[in-house]
C-alpha cells in the first residue's frame, strides 16, 4: 500500500466528539488506519498491532470512553500515534465526521478495519423485533455506512477489513438473527472489492469461527497481513478464521 503523508498535529483536547489526541508526532509517509469498535477486544488488539507497525491509529468507540482513552494511552506509552473519536457507526453523519477528524489530524485514511458489532442471541420464535432492528442497525446498516464512507474517502491503494462470523454457514439454534446480519457482511465485501478494484483498494472480511480458540492477537495479526503489501493479492474474500464466536452480550463501543 502506498502510505499517505501525515502532517504534524499538536496535543489536542476533548471536543464534542470525545476525541483525544496525545503526543502526535507523525513523520511524513505514515499510513493511517481507522478501527471501529477499537476500544476493546479484537478492535483494540488490531489498533495495538497496527500502531506497532507504525500506523497512526484512529480508535472509534460509542459508549466506553474510558476504554478508548486507555487504548490510546497504551499506544502512546509504546511511542505510537493514536486518536479516539466517538461515533455511531450506523449514523452516516457521525461516520462522515469520524473520517473527517481522521483526515484533519493525519491528512488522509489508508485502512479501515470495521470491528464494531452487536451480538444478541435468541430463538426465532422468541426474538423481540425491536432487538432485531437494533442488532441489524449496527451489523448491517453500520457495515454499509462505514464501507460507503471508506469507499469515498480511502486513498488509492488502501484496504478495508470487515468482520463476519462462521455462524452464517452453521445451523446453530439461537443464532438466526445474528447470522443473518453477518450474511450481509459476506455479501457486501466481495461486491465492494470489485467496485474498488480500479483504485487498488482491497476489501476482505474475517469470519470468526468455532473450531478452536483464537485470541484477539491472532486475529490482529491476520488483519495486519491483509492490509500489508504481502496480503494485497487477497481481495474480495471472506476468510474463515478458526476461533470462538464470542460473548453473546457483545456490543459495539462498550
Dist CA 69 CA 62 (whole Å): 12
The yes-or-no answer on residue 175 being catalytic is no
User: Contact, 110 vs 32, CB < 8 A?
Assistant: yes
Q: Please tell me the number of Cα atoms within 13 Å of 134 on its side-chain side.
A: 11
DSSP 159-202: EEEEEEEGGGGS--TT-HHHHHHHHHHHHHHHHHHHHHGGGT-E
Q: Which of 55, 61, 175, 178 is catalytic?
A: 178
**Residues contacting 53, CB < 8 A, separation 6+:** 224, 228
Phi, psi of 165 (to 5 degrees): -150, 145
Number of CB atoms found within 10 A of residue 77's CB = 10
Phi, psi of 242 (to 5 degrees): -60, 140
Q: Looking at the DSSP assignment, which residues form a beta bridge with residue 160?
A: 112, 203
User: Contact, 201 vs 154, CB < 8 A?
Assistant: yes
- Sole residue written with cell 488502501: 158
Residue 15 DSSP symbol:
-
Q: Would you tell me the crossing angle of helices 176-196 and 142-153 to the nearest 10 degrees?
A: 10
Mind telling me the catalytic residues? 178
Amino acid at each position: 500500500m502506498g502510505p499517505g503523508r501525515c502532517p504534524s498535529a499538536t496535543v489536542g483536547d476533548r471536543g464534542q466528539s470525545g476525541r483525544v489526541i496525545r503526543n502526535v508526532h507523525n513523520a511524513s509517509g505514515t499510513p493511517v488506519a481507522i478501527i471501529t469498535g477499537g476500544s476493546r477486544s479484537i478492535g483494540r488488539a488490531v489498533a495495538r498491532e497496527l500502531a506497532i507497525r507504525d500506523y497512526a491509529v484512529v480508535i472509534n468507540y460509542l459508549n466506553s470512553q474510558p476504554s478508548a482513552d486507555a487504548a490510546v494511552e497504551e499506544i502512546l506509552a509504546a511511542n505510537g500515534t493514536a486518536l479516539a473519536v466517538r461515533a455511531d457507526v450506523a449514523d452516516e453523519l457521525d461516520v462522515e465526521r469520524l473520517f473527517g477528524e481522521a483526515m484533519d489530524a493525519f491528512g488522509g485514511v489508508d485502512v479501515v478495519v470495521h470491528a464494531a458489532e452487536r451480538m444478541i442471541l435468541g430463538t426465532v420464535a422468541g426474538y423481540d423485533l425491536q432487538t432485531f432492528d437494533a442488532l441489524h442497525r449496527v451489523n448491517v446498516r453500520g457495515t454499509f455506512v462505514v464501507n460507503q464512507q471508506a469507499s469515498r474517502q480511502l486513498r488509492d491503494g488502501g484496504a478495508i477489513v470487515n468482520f463476519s462470523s462462521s455462524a452464517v454457514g452453521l445451523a446453530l439454534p439461537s443464532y438466526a438473527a445474528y447470522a443473518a446480519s453477518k450474511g450481509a457482511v459476506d455479501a457486501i465485501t466481495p461486491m465492494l472489492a470489485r467496485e474498488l478494484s480500479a483504485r487498488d483498494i482491497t476489501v476482505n472480511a474475517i469470519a470468526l469461527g468455532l473450531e478452536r480458540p483464537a485470541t484477539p492477537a491472532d486475529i490482529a495479526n491476520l488483519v495486519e497481513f491483509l492490509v500489508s503489501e504481502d496480503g494485497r493479492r487477497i481481495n474480495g474474500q471472506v476468510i474463515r478464521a478458526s476461533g470462538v464466536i464470542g460473548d453473546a452480550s457483545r456490543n459495539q463501543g462498550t
